[in-house]
Homo-oligomer: A and B are copies of this chain.
Amino acid sequence: MRAPDATDVPAPDAAAAAAARERLASLATPPGALGRLGELAVWWAGVRGVPVPPAPRRVDLHVVAGDHGVVARGVSAFPAAVTPLMVRAFLDGGAAATVLARQLGVHVHTHDLAVDTDWPPGTDPALTAHKVRRGSGSIDTDDALTPEETDAALAAGAALADASVDAGADLLLVGDMGIGNTTPAAALVCALLDGDPAVLTGRGTGVDGDALARKREVVTAAVTRARDAHGDDPRRLLGGLGGADLAAMAGLCARAARRRTPVLLDGVVVTAAALAAERAAPGSAAWWAAGHRSAEPAHSPALVALGLDPLLDLGMRLGEGSGALAALPLLSSAATLLAETALLADVLPG
């Protein structure tokens, strides 16, 4: 992810989108009757660059895992030791997102960017091919990453996007896994949007009472510290508040846009990273759609800032890519409706 450069991010294909909109209006349905599904089909035509694109055929989900030093401050209901256990569940196919992916024919790629563990011999080396470090600095007092680590994580995310695009993926999904990761996500959204940590810090995996109050204090301290140190530079804020997992997600989303490949976003962690990516490379968000609205309070303002209206609003707050996966069939339905519904002219007598 480089500094903003208007010539850097291509725009979706406006002619393809316009042709899709025209076809949508000519289907054997009342005008607008498909609602958001119709709008989604038009977006899909633009990002696929053809007026009547097929439904997604090869979809890659990248689950990006990392630990967060701030967990030591007591901001999560689970200990950091759960992160590697859940990563193992991804590799074994028992994590919720892998269950959905299997059902939907989505390819899952799990990446340890910053899990605070050493894996036993025999673990698939692909898991750690892009590992930047173990954990991150505790963001209330320190930057999450050094500038070098931030660069490495951004480049890792870009490499993940490149690998999928080069393998023929027509849609990317991004998921997160990491105990404590809603804390850096909330901090990043607050820093980028000048938001109030008291409002935008959520319950994550289920903290309340003292732990939630502590989490708010931590986010407040982190945002104040990072804004003082880094201003509103999105890349520096990713390193200051995010962590290697969030920086890699940002790199992935930005590179996908540059590769003219659409991304279906998930919950607050992925969306916080995407918000930083859009700030660094304006125009990228045109390539993204929002799968769902999470129950985390920082998610909605981040979506609004990206100009994205989520497809689902089911009170989910799992992460992992689960909200993007749950929404994926709607995109397939939208594309199929545009392609296969009869035209009104063919239904009405000549």
Within 8 A of B (CB), among A305-327: 311-318, 322, 325-326
For A330, the chain B residues whose CB sits under 8 A away are: 312, 314, 326, 329
For A128, the chain B residues whose CB sits under 8 A away are: none
Within 8 A of B (CB), among A329-350: 329-330, 332-333, 336-337, 340-342, 346-349
- Whether B30 contacts A96 by the Cβ 8 Å rule is no
Docked Cα-Cα span, A55 to B27, in Å, equals: 32
- Whether B94 contacts A316 by the Cβ 8 Å rule is no
Q: Which residue of B31, B96, B295, B317 is within 8 Å of A28 (Cβ)?
A: B96
Docked Cα-Cα span, A28 to B204, in Å, equals: 15
For A318, the chain B residues whose CB sits under 8 A away are: 29-30, 33-34
Docked Cα-Cα span, A333 to B96, in Å, equals: 10
Instruction: Determine if A52 is an interface residue (Cβ-Cβ < 8 Å).
Output: no
- Whether B346 contacts A34 by the Cβ 8 Å rule is no
Q: Which residue of B30, B78, B314, B333 is within 8 Å of A317 (Cβ)?
A: B30
- Whether B77 contacts A30 by the Cβ 8 Å rule is yes
| A interface residues, tally (CB under 8 Å) | 55
Docked Cα-Cα span, A100 to B333, in Å, equals: 6
- Whether A99 contacts B337 by the Cβ 8 Å rule is yes
For A103, the chain B residues whose CB sits under 8 A away are: 55, 332-333, 336
Instruction: Determine if A85 is an interface residue (Cβ-Cβ < 8 Å).
Output: yes
B-contact bits for A46-58, CB 8 A (1 contact / 0 none): 0000000001000
Within 8 A of B (CB), among A16-31: 27-31
Which residue of chain B has its CB nearest to the CB of A342?
B94
- Whether B206 contacts A326 by the Cβ 8 Å rule is no
Which residue of chain B has its CB nearest to the CB of A33?
B318
Instruction: Determine if A11 is an interface residue (Cβ-Cβ < 8 Å).
Output: no
Docked Cα-Cα span, A32 to B316, in Å, equals: 8
Task: Given the known inter-chain contacts A34-B316, A34-B318, please indicate yes or no for A96 contacting B29, CB distance below 8 A.
Answer: yes
Starting from the known contacts A34-B96, A34-B318, A99-B337, 19 additional A-B residue pairs (CB-CB under 8 Å) come to A28-B89, A28-B95, A30-B77, A30-B204, A30-B317, A30-B318, A32-B315, A33-B205, A33-B317, A35-B314, A36-B314, A36-B316, A85-B349, A89-B342, A92-B342, A99-B336, A312-B330, A326-B330, A326-B333
Q: Which residues of A contact B (CB under 8 A)?
A: 27-37, 55, 77-78, 82, 85-86, 88-89, 92, 94-96, 99-100, 102-103, 204-206, 295, 311-318, 322, 325-326, 329-330, 332-333, 336-337, 340-342, 346-349
